Structure 1
C-alpha cells in the first residue's frame, strides 16, 4: 500500500520563511525533490525570497545543518531532503538512524518544525518513483512543514 501525505487544510505560506537543506549524495533524486518542494512552497504563497536553500554532502550531515539553521531564529520551518539507497553493508542502517534521530532532536530542541524528507529505499527505482510526479516526497515535505508551522502557531501559550 502506497502512502501519500494529505494536508488537513490548505495552509498559506504568506510571510513565512522556510529553509531547505538538501543532500548532494544521490543528487539527481534529491534535486527533483527540492524542485518539487520549492514549487509547492511557491504555490502556497511562500515568497521565493523567503526560501533559503543550502546543500550538504550527504544525509548524515542533514541534522547539523538543520539544527544550525533552526538556531538562527530566521526560519519558521525547515525541510530536510535526502536519499539513502540500501547497499550490501550495514552503512544504510547507520546513516538512516543517525539522520532520523538527529533531525528529530534538532526539531525538538529548537521548537522549529523540520519536515523529514529523507528517502530510505532498497533500490534506485524506488527512489526515482518517490521523487517524481504525484509521488514526489519533496512536495509532501513542503506541505508538511507548512501545516506544522500553522499547527504550532495555533497552540495557545501558557501564561
Structure 2
C-alpha cells in the first residue's frame, strides 16, 4: 500500500508557508461520518498550527462524496477562499457503486481545478475496508486530512505568487 510506510501527519513545519493571511474552505461528506470527522479534525488542526485564523476556515457539509464537487463549486462561487479541501470517504462494497462514486468524484475535483482559479485538494479516502479508512483518518498511518491541509497551504501560497505576494515561512 502507498501509505504503509508513511505517516500522513508528518511534515516539516519550516518548509510550510505561514497561512495567517489565507482563507480556506473545507467541504465535508456526511457519509462515513466517523472517518470524515477524523479527516476534518486533522485538516483543521494543521491549518491552525500553521497560522490560519479560526475565522478563516469555512466548513460546509454535503451528504456524500459524490456531492463534494457541487459543494466545492458553490464555495468557489460564493466565498472568497484561497483553497478548498474536499473531504470524503468511500469504502468498497459488493457492487460497482464504489467505482462510479470514486471515479466521478476524482474527475469532478480535477475539473474544478482546471476550470477555476481556486485550488481544490482531493482528500477522499477510497479504501477497501473500514479498517484502512480508520488507519488513514487519525489511526496508525496518521491523518490524510493533515496532509491535505498542508497541500492546501502550499497551493494557496502558489496561487498568491501570481499576485506578486511574498510567501512567508515559519
Specify the alignment match of 2:129 in structure 1. 123
Superposition deviation, residue 10 in structure 1: 1.5
Counterparts in 2 of 1:113 and 1:136: CA distance versus 1, 3 Å: same
Specify the alignment match of 2:168 in structure 1. none
The answer to whether the aligner puts 1:47 opposite 2:47 as a matched pair is: no
The answer to whether the aligner puts 1:150 opposite 2:163 as a matched pair is: no
Specify the alignment match of 1:136 in structure 2. 143
Superposition deviation, residue 11 in structure 1: 1.3
TM-score normalized by structure 2?
0.86
The answer to whether the aligner puts 1:38 opposite 2:44 as a matched pair is: yes
Give runs of aligned pairs for residues 1-159 of structure 1, distance below 5 A: 1-2=2-3, 3=6, 4=8, 6=11, 9-133=15-139, 135-155=142-162
Output the CA distance in 1 between the equivalents of 2:104 and 2:11.
27
Q: Is the 8 A contact 1:80 1:114 kept in 2?
A: yes
Output the CA distance in 2 between the equivalents of 1:129 and 1:50.
29
Q: Per chain length, whose mean CA-contact separation is higher, i.e. which structure has more relative contact order (CA < 8 Å, sep 6+)?
A: 2
Aligned residue-pair number: 157
Counterparts in 2 of 1:15 and 1:79: CA distance versus 1, 3 Å: same
TM-score normalized by structure 1?
0.92
Greater alpha carbon shift after TM alignment, 72-81 vs 43-52: 72-81
SS at 1:52 equivalent? strand
Counterparts in 2 of 1:17 and 1:156: CA distance versus 1, 3 Å: closer
Q: Is the 8 A contact 1:67 1:107 kept in 2?
A: no
Output the CA distance in 1 between the equivalents of 2:11 and 2:93.
31
Output the CA distance in 2 between the equivalents of 1:82 and 1:9.
27
- Alignment RMSD (CA, Å): 1.9
Q: Is the 8 A contact 1:40 1:142 kept in 2?
A: yes
Counterparts in 2 of 1:151 and 1:20: CA distance versus 1, 3 Å: same
